[in-house]
Each structure stands twice: as structure tokens, then as C-alpha cells.
Amino acid sequence: MNTLLLVVMVVFGVAAILTIVRIVRGPSILDRAVASDVLLTEVMCVLGAEMAINGHTRTIPVMLIIAAVGVFGSISVARFVARRDNTTP
């Protein structure tokens, strides 16, 4: 079982590194927002995979909080971009 968890962590680790590169390089704030959502989703997938492999449900509250932060962050960025687009002629 530990080998499976290691493989999952390596795959998601590579995906997280690529996502962080997109957050840093970005060119626009929307690219960074999408990459942040992807990173949060990857963290949730790692937590879910770890729960499934080890057979427990202790991290479900953490996953709910991560999901809420992702939703509220996406809404905030969308409102910011919408306001910025309305102020330009």
C-alpha cells in the first residue's frame, strides 16, 4: 500500500510543481487564479487518495475548508476582474 501512496504523491507532486510555475509566470491574473484553483484541487485529490489508501475519513473537514477557500477565492478574483474591466473605457 505504501508504494501506491508514493506513486500518487510523486504524480501529484509533479503536477503541483507545474502548477506553481504557472502561478509564478502567469501572464494574467486569470491564469494565476485558474492555476491556484488547480493547485487546491490537487491538494484535495492527494488528501482523498491518502484517505482511500489508508482507509480513514479524518481529513474530510480539511477538504471541505480547502474547497470553500477555493470557491471564495475564485469569486473574489472574478469580482475584481469584473470591476477592473468596467472601469476601462
| Mean pLDDT rounded to a whole number for the chain | 87
> What are the φ and ψ backbone dihedral angles of 58, each rounded to 5 degrees?
-70, -25
User: What range defines the domain where residue 25 resides?
Assistant: 2-87
**3-class DSSP assignment, residue 28:** coil
Residues 23-65 have pLDDT tens digits of 999 888 888 888 999 999 999 998 998 898 888 999 999 999 9
The predicted model scores a pTM of 0.80
The DSSP-derived string for 47-86 is: HHHHHHHHT--TTHHHHHHHHHHHHHHHHHHHHHHHHHHH
Mean pLDDT for the stretch of residues 62-73: 92
User: Given a cut of 60, is residue 1 above it in pLDDT?
Assistant: no
Domains identified in the chain, total number: 1
